[in-house]
Amino acid sequence: MIKDKHKSREGIHKRELTVNLPNISIIDEIKTSGRLPSPTGVALTILELTRDPNANIDEMAKVLHGDPSLSGQIIKYANSAAAGNRASVASINDALVRLGMSMVRQLCLGFSVLSNTQTGNCEKFDYEGFWGRSLAMASSCQTLARTMGGVNPDEGFTCGLLCEIGGLALASVYPEVYAKVLAEWDEGSREDLIRLENEMLMIDRNQVTAALFEDWGLPDFYPQAVFNKDKTDWESLSKPPVATEACFQLANILFVGNLAAEICMEQNNERHWRVLEFLNFARMFKLDDDELTAVYDEIMAEWTRMGKVLDVVTGQMPSMSKLLRSARASRDSECSSDLPEGVIDDRHEPVNQGIQPAKETLLDLEEVSHQGLRILVATDCPLHKKILSKKLTAEGHEVTVADDGARALEIAVAESPQLVISDWVMPNLDGLELCRTLRLSPQLSHIHFIIMTSHDSNDELVEAFEAGINYYLVKPLNHNILSALLLGAAREVATREEVERQQVELRRTNAEINITNRMLQTMALEDQLTQLPNRRAGLAGLDKAWAKSSRSGEALLVMIMDIDFFKKVNDTYGHDAGDIVLQSTAKAMKNAIRDSDEICRFGGEEFMVVCPGADVSVATMVGNRIREAVEHNVLDTPEFKGHVTISIGVAVRGKEVEDAQSLIKEADEALYAAKDAGRNKVCIYAPDHVHE
């Protein structure tokens, strides 16, 4: 579970969203490293169908019949409380009519991803807690969207359910390294977790989630909203947000929905602060206590109901009226000095322990071929159940018995046996239909299947093998032949599992290579002292901003900044003190720029800031904000005590500026003018003169 420690945001209408999403190549890269959480083929087909204006319910129903598990969940949802007190539906066609194609599209996406990723190999990752929290987020966003408007509730549900899928993806692709991330994080702040992900994996959950959404072909504002839902800075200097209104609304829903979800997952005092923070945001949306109580109780009812539909564990929660009373009483009993600011939790600084290669394990196939199998016996014959259970158990196999085909399918989905021995003729679901259904599931298609039959005519056997059986046994059973078949099946299972182990090792190796490559790429583009982008990265960013400005005609400015009298710092206090001054100054400048600005260490004590969309009217305000942040940044270290100042030269792109290098040259001239004017100043270049 993630404890999301946001600062309170007043003035939600001023929120600025950026839309610079990670490149889709991220997905191409980590696809080669391991198993990503992803929708089933049926769900992806449904996504494609719903984009076709000519698609109809019959076409969708035909596709859904290819995934019985997903169809069952859709029907179960259609019959749940939210669908109203109408007669139960029994077919997927009726469910589609009741829910509508848009709702089914959202449900298929969320349900299929969830059903494929309820367990995994990352020891520190709480898979059950992840989906419990994700379902709380989905229910919160759906209800809030319905209450506040601006966002389709179905879209709110889907985006809420999957907005943290990037964390699950990282745990799936890099299980060993991500376990170290979680161990270092130790349930600290969300900011700490994102930082650790970037430090140890060179990528974070929001980037992966946004890239996955793009890869699945979801609307553009989905990944935009996810990528911006954690923004905590409020910008009053810039122009109106460049993100679409849909992105803006969905990002806000995700932020407030997260507060509601945290109330579901937190305990005791932490829950009290979440309730009070949620109350603050309710006031922004003009909700009084009664309305807030009704909204949250609806969220809780939806969370509990959906937990039953999807077999996800949810908690027992008191009503919002009780939570409000308890939270206010807890707040009133605390000293004001002890109240957390926006519920911020500062933890120790984690340490990157690096990547430890996994130990290689090899398997003796011949040894495994003599080990027992997990066998599911499906028969309604009491005699066969008794004889097979006794004999197979005596030979060292683990045996589970089902009385009919439908029950056998439930057990297969839950336990994933290695081999099924099934009667051909059974109640509810016969042996061939059971086999066909298993072969349709990516998770169960590998199961070996032996059919027991009283007939061995050519036509029947052809039908059986076309259904996907591996072997057949003619009744009465010859147990010597059965033992021989099981020995062969055990060898095939061992071979397949050894191949899977080798694939896991290969994926682990590829994962380590990918992480190392990203580290090397970061090192090539990062100044190691200040942790800012280096000159090479800064110039590349400027070229990109220049090209965008050329296409769109939007404003662009460049700042060149230099620490005043830095040589004196080095000469007086030593180079160690100089390094500390550079690091601290870089941090102060980075904290003072806007989200959309890019800063780099340009060389020595010189820095460059590129400000897309900023013109002369903004230049002075932004430049002075950076200058004042450095001037007020007082250092108190054994090496250096005091503060430094910076001089800033600004150049704004005009029609006469030919290229990006010319813009840098003009900013440099303005910097010299700032130095000549007495330092600790901002000077702006104009075609005829430089002015403060």
Catalytic sites, residue numbers:
605
CA dihedral sign, ordered 339, 341, 342, 345: negative
State yes or no: cis peptide before 476, omega within 30 of 0.
yes
Angle (CA) 671-675-677 rounded to 5° is 110
Which is nearest to 293 in space by CA: 260, 250, 330, 251?
A: 260
As a whole number of angstroms, the distance between CA 203 and CA 208 comes to: 8
Contact criterion met (CB below 8 Å) for 168 and 34: no
Residues near 91 by beta carbon (within 8 Å), at least 6 away in sequence: 61, 75
d(CA 368, CA 485): 15
Cα separation, 168 vs 638, whole angstroms: 44
> How far is Cα 23 from Cα 533, in angstroms, rounded to an integer?
18
Phi, psi of 555 (to 5 degrees): -70, 165
Q: Measured between alpha carbons, how far is 360 from 447 in angstroms, rounded to an integer?
A: 26
- How much of the chain is helix, strand and coil, in % rounded to 5? 60, 10, 35
Rounded-to-integer distance, Cα 686 and Cα 692, Å: 10
Pairing mode, strands 419-423 and 374-378:
parallel
Pseudo-torsion of CA 150, 155, 158, 160, nearest 10°? -10
How many residues are recorded in the chain?
692
> How many C-beta atoms surround the C-beta of residue 247 within 10 A?
23
**Do the beta carbons of residue 605 and residue 566 sit within 8 Å?**
yes
Of 553, 570, 646, whose CA–CA distance to 608 is shortest?
646
Amino acid identity of 453?
Answer: T
Could you tell me if 676 and 683 are in contact, meaning their C-beta atoms sit under 8 angstroms apart?
no
